[in-house]
């Protein structure tokens, strides 16, 4: 039985949930999971509904038939087939822990994505990538060729019809133009617990300050460097006895986990942009299970 999801954003008012539930019933659908949020400050309403059709109504008919309800409440909405894997381009430089973690999770079916290409400004991970039958593109970036390099990157994105770009420790700053063109479609992992310790060597900065917690932040990329809407964060505890290198090693683990969770949320359409913040709904039951659990 096909599993679908409906995502809705609109101004908060009475009757939205009732209208959606009524529509589902009238079209022979059973709601299996639902989450909603009213932002009292902005007056915005967000909702995600998982459902399946008990009468075989296809997704296109569900989408077309919902237009009247959406118009009544001035909704921005979409229907998603949960069996469809999101196409993703991963970008990496010389730190490969996030890339390797993501490739493993994809291989065992723990992330509902298809990696359609890996782009790097170095050759370090070419063999790792091509050995998994994934196209690898080495696109060098310098101050002189940055516009041409980004054009080549965007060509790969367009050719592969990718829905998302993941910066898995890609150590190049994207242009404002590219950030705006791919707004809400680029996820970055920042190796610190924003907004503390930005820039180079954040773990060294943290070590020098004697912090007791370090962490990682995954966020959407905007033209404001490392200021995009935050999707996921986590931390790990540090003691006075650990070295700067310990910080780096512990940081690698938390970075990989945070980035994977952010991609999981995005790929399951659980993340809603809400100004400079996000609304992130909990995962639906069963969405963390994978094809190979061992």
Q: Say how far apart CA 220 and CA 218 lie, in whole Å.
A: 7
Question: Which residue in the block uniquely carries the two structure tokens 């009732």?
Answer: 18
Instruction: Cite the DSSP H helix spans in 134-238.
Output: 146-160, 176-181, 202-209
Q: Say how far apart CA 1 and CA 214 lie, in whole Å.
A: 44
> Which residues, other chains included, contact 110 with Cβ-Cβ below 8 Å and sequence gap of 6+?
260, 288, 290
> Which residues, other chains included, contact 120 with Cβ-Cβ below 8 Å and sequence gap of 6+?
91, 92, 93, 126, 136, 137, 138, 139, 170
Instruction: Cite the DSSP H helix spans in the chain.
Output: 16-26, 59-65, 67-73, 97-107, 126-130, 146-160, 176-181, 202-209, 244-267
- Judge if the upstream peptide bond of residue 195 is cis by omega within 30 degrees of 0: yes
33, 39, 124, 226: which one is catalytic?
226
Are 88 and 166 in contact by the 8 Å Cβ rule? The answer is yes
Strand, helix or coil at 164? strand
How many angstroms separate the first and last alpha carbons of the chain? 26
Residue 226 annotated among the catalytic residues of the structure: yes
Q: For the chain, how many residues are written?
A: 294
Question: Which residue in the block uniquely carries the two structure tokens 């309800």?
Answer: 69
> Which residues, other chains included, contact 272 with Cβ-Cβ below 8 Å and sequence gap of 6+?
7, 9, 46, 48, 278, 279, 280, 281
By annotation, the residues acting in catalysis are 226
């Amino acid at each position: 039985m096909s599993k679908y999801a409906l995502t809705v954003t609109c101004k908060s008012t009475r009757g939205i949930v009732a209208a959606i539930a009524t529509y589902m019933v009238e079209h022979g659908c059973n709601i299996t999971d639902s989450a909603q949020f009213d932002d009292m400050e902005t007056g915005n309403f967000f909702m995600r509904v998982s459902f399946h059709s008990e009468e075989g109504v296809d997704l296109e008919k569900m989408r077309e038939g919902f237009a009247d309800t959406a118009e009544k409440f001035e909704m921005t909405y979409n229907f998603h087939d949960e069996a469809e894997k999101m196409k993703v381009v991963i970008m990496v430089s010389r730190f490969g822990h996030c890339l390797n973690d993501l490739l493993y999770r994809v291989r065992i079916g723990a992330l509902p994505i298809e990696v359609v290409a890996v782009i790097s400004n170095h050759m370090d991970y070419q063999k790792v990538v091509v050995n998994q039958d994934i196209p690898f593109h080495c696109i060098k970036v310098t101050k002189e060729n940055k516009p041409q390099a980004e054009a080549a990157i965007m060509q790969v994105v367009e050719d592969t019809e990718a829905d998302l770009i993941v910066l898995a420790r890609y150590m190049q700053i994207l242009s404002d133009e590219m950030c705006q063109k791919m707004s809400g479609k680029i996820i970055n992992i920042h190796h610190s617990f924003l907004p503390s310790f930005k820039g180079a060597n954040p773990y060294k900065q943290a070590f020098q300050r004697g912090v007791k917690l370090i962490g990682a932040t995954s966020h959407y990329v905007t033209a404001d460097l490392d200021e995009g809407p935050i999707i996921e964060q986590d931390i790990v505890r540090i003691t006075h006895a650990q070295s700067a290198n310990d910080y780096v090693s512990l940081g690698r683990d938390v970075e990989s986990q945070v980035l994977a969770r952010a991609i999981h949320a995005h790929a399951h359409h659980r993340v809603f942009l809400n100004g400079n913040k996000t609304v992130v709904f909990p995962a639906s039951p069963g969405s963390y299970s994978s094809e190979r659990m061992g």
